[in-house]
């Protein structure tokens, strides 16, 4: 039986995860996922690709659900209300140029001090629509916040298990799933079976959530960064990309893939819950 065994959000793009037991699905995926983002002086987005220390910035949701608490070693706690700021700042995320909402000078000083760079925190403007690539979404008008391109990332435990076997055969250490920064982790699929899945049906009739696996996720260097300390393994600095290159090249995305980007088809307002059953329909 296939089931949902991992549920994660990353409120600040490329910073720490929050692991959940349940979450409401919305048109943009999970409401707080990638709602905030760090940008440089030119408004260009930052990620662990250039600032690996971002991995060590912890993000926590307070018990009342009214604010985030941001933490990092040697830094005072930073509180971030969920209400929207008002000042607009133009930002660039890959090839998209859009207006975002500047989170103010206190956040500017905190993140700049920790990362040793002049950076600002911005919030996604809910009046802005950032459309997903229609070449992959077909007739679905999907949109997202500050994710790389799609509202959800789905991975499979069996696929990670297979990758780890390959790594261990060459003497490299096994990797935890957090290296791949998924939103949903599925157990019960065969290794890489997600490559052949068209839609996921989660939950029971009447409360069902339907997600379409729209595009294979092309991988950059971030899975090589330890999400606890923000460092690469000095003995294996090019893993897992070197191993993925032996069997996971995909010409459709001109890269090495692990996991699938997903869009929401139906079920907005319903809850994803750890342990819920998942049915699949295949894409052939």
The pLDDT tens digits for 80-102 are: 999 989 999 999 999 999 999 99
Confidence band for 8, pLDDT divided at 50, 70 and 90: very high
| pLDDT given at position 230 | 97
Residue 107 to residue 189: CA distance in whole angstroms:
42
pTM > 0.85: yes or no: yes
pLDDT at 204 over 90: no
Read off the tokens for 26: 């919305």
pLDDT at 202 over 80: yes
Q: How many structural domains compose the chain?
A: 1
Residue 231 to residue 111: CA distance in whole angstroms:
19
Confidence band for 182, pLDDT divided at 50, 70 and 90: very high
pLDDT at 64 over 80: no
Residue 281 to residue 222: CA distance in whole angstroms:
30
Residue 231 to residue 213: CA distance in whole angstroms:
31
What is the pairing mode between strands 184-187 and 152-156?
parallel
pLDDT, mean of residues 31-40: 97
Whether 7 and 184 have beta carbons less than 8 Å apart is answered as yes
Read off the tokens for 97: 């140029």
SS3 string, 137-170, reads HCCCCCEECCCCCCCEEEEEHHHHHHHHHHHHHC
Read off the tokens for 46: 């930052």
Query: Residue 125 is part of which domain span?
Result: 3-282
pLDDT at 63 over 80: no
Q: Residue 204 burial by CB count (10 A; 0-12/13-18/19+): exposed, middle or buried?
A: exposed
């Amino acid at each position: 039986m296939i089931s949902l065994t991992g549920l994660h959000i990353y409120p600040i793009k490329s910073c720490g995860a929050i692991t959940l037991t349940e979450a409401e699905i919305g048109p943009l995926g999970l409401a707080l996922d990638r709602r905030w983002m760090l940008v440089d002086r030119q408004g260009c987005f930052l990620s662990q690709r250039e600032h690996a220390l971002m991995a060590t910035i912890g993000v926590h949701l307070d018990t009342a659900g009214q604010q985030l608490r941001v933490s990092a070693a040697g830094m005072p706690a930073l509180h971030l209300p969920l209400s929207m700021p008002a000042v607009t700042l133009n930002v660039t995320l890959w090839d998209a140029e859009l207006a975002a909402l500047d989170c103010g000078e206190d956040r500017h000083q905190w993140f700049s001090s920790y990362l040793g760079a002049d950076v600002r925190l911005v919030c996604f403007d809910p009046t802005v629509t950032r459309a997903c690539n229609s070449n992959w979404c077909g007739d679905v008008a999907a949109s997202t916040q500050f994710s790389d391109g799609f509202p959800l990332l789905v991975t499979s435990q069996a696929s990670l298990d297979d990758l780890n076997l390959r790594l261990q055969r060459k003497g490299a250490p096994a990797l935890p799933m957090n290296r791949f920064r998924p939103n949903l982790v599925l157990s019960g699929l065969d290794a890489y079976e997600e490559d052949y899945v068209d839609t996921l049906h989660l939950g029971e009739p009447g409360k069902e959530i339907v997600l379409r696996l729209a595009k294979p996720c092309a991988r950059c260097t971030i899975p090589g960064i330890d999400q606890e300390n923000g460092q690469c393994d000095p003995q294996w600095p090019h893993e897992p990309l070197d191993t993925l290159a032996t069997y996971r090249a995909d010409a459709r995305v001109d890269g090495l893939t692990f996991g699938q980007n997903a869009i929401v088809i139906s079920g907005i307002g319903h809850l994803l819950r750890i342990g819920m059953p998942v049915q699949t329909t295949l894409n052939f």
